[in-house]
């Protein structure tokens, strides 16, 4: 299938909210990780979201070191590969902080505009502006500007209020005060009032989320913050239940019960990165330990081409990451729910 159209993507998100399930949004950095994610969604008969961060884009561009170029390369590859699968994919960019708007998000919007002028769909179907380091007023001001630009191109914008703790792609928020890890109902109401009706948008409202690797129980989530924020918007603006499309960041170490609770509060997208990184790397390490004398040319020997050929261990890595993505699909209850069925 081609990459999801704007209308299909909106339908995916709205059906997820109504059906209380969510889409894993899988970060990719290479053709291998992209292939693992796409194959997983197809096997699970689930539509899915594939995303590229600024760091992921920079990595994908190799020594060129251009985050926007790398993201564009991965997105174009996804557009081509998607035609061979029977589920829908939406492409998304993750955590663009204010300093990266010009070098990352702006060139990608220009690329989408060129595609639209050529009669094609946008390069990415959604982008994230992470203005959480700004005051709420400044955050929403910039969000409004980019929502208008995205809406012209049929692109959905994701924003964040509150701060996701920890470190990701070199952006370290581990020193922020604890209260900033929790979005308030007032924040969610203000975001709704500033953005609703101006284009498609999602809100990453924080409730104690932390990026990184943590054992179960070490991340102190308060999912009821999402419930209370949705209720506040409903009460003030007479909307239906769960008026906001919410996004769950920093889910590593969260219990399945906490994850499922958020689905009832309007979470339709959950970022999955750290767990997939480990799933990808683990079989490579295993391969190297088991085949060290073939991977290395020891004591003047020639090694074993079959085991130092990168294809031998990349195939294992792809399979392992694919399995982990399928687990996320099951955990978020989106398996078997592709719009193409």
The residue ranges of every structural domain in the chain are 6-273+321-331
Contact 257, 235 (CB under 8 A): no
Q: Three-state SS for 203?
A: strand
- Cβ(146)–Cβ(155) below 8 Å: no
331 is annotated as an active-site residue:
no
Residues 47, 66, 94, 169: which is the catalytic one? 94
Output the pLDDT for position 225: 93
CB proximity list for 219: less than 8 A, separation 6 or greater: 208, 209, 210, 250, 252, 253, 254
- pLDDT for position 220: 72
Spatial separation of the C-alpha atoms in residues 202 and 207, rounded to whole Å = 16
Residue 328: how many CA atoms within 13 Å on its side-chain side? 32
Average the pLDDT over each of 27-31, 109-113, 182-186, 236-240 and give the range with the smallest value: 182-186
Q: How do residues 50-77 score in pLDDT, each as one tens digit?
A: 999 999 999 999 999 999 999 999 999 9
Q: Quick one: pLDDT at residue 252? A: 65
Homologous superfamily assigned to 6-273+321-331 = Aldolase class I (3.20.20.70)
């Amino acid at each position: 299938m081609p990459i999801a159209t704007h209308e299909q993507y909106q339908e995916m998100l709205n059906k997820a909210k109504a059906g209380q399930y969510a889409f894993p949004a899988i970060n990719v950095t290479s053709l291998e990780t992209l292939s693992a994610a796409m194959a997983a969604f197809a096997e699970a008969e689930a539509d899915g979201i594939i995303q590229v961060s600024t760091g992921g884009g920079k990595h994908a561009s190799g020594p060129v070191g251009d985050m926007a170029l790398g993201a564009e390369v991965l997105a174009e590859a996804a557009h081509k590969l998607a035609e061979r699968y029977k589920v829908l994919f939406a492409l998304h960019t993750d955590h663009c902080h204010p300093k990266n708007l010009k070098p990352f998000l702006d060139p990608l919007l220009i690329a989408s505009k060129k595609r639209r002028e050529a009669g094609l769909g946008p390069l990415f179907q959604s982008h994230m502006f992470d203005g959480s380091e700004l005051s709420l007023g400044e955050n929403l001001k910039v969000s409004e500007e980019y929502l208008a630009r995205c809406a012209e191109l049929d692109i959905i914008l994701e924003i964040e209020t509150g701060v996701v703790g920890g470190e990701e792609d070199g952006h370290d928020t581990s020193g922020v005060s604890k209260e900033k890890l929790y979005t308030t109902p007032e924040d969610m109401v203000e975001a709704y009032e500033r953005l609703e009706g101006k284009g498609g948008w999602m809100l990453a409202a924080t409730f104690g989320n932390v990026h990184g690797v943590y054992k179960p129980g070490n991340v102190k989530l308060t999912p009821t913050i999402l419930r209370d924020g949705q209720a506040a918007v409903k009460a003030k603006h007479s909307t239906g239940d769960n008026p906001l499309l919410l996004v769950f960041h920093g889910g590593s170490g969260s219990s399945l019960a906490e994850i499922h609770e958020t689905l009832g509060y309007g979470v339709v997208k959950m970022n999955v990165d750290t767990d997939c990184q480990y799933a990808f790397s683990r079989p490579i390490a295993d391969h190297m330990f088991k085949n060290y004398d073939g991977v290395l040319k020891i004591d003047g020997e020639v090694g074993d081409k079959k085991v130092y050929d990168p294809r031998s261990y990349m195939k294992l890595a792809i399979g392992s990451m694919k399995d982990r993505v399928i687990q996320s699909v099951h955990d978020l209850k989106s398996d078997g729910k592709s719009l193409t069925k």
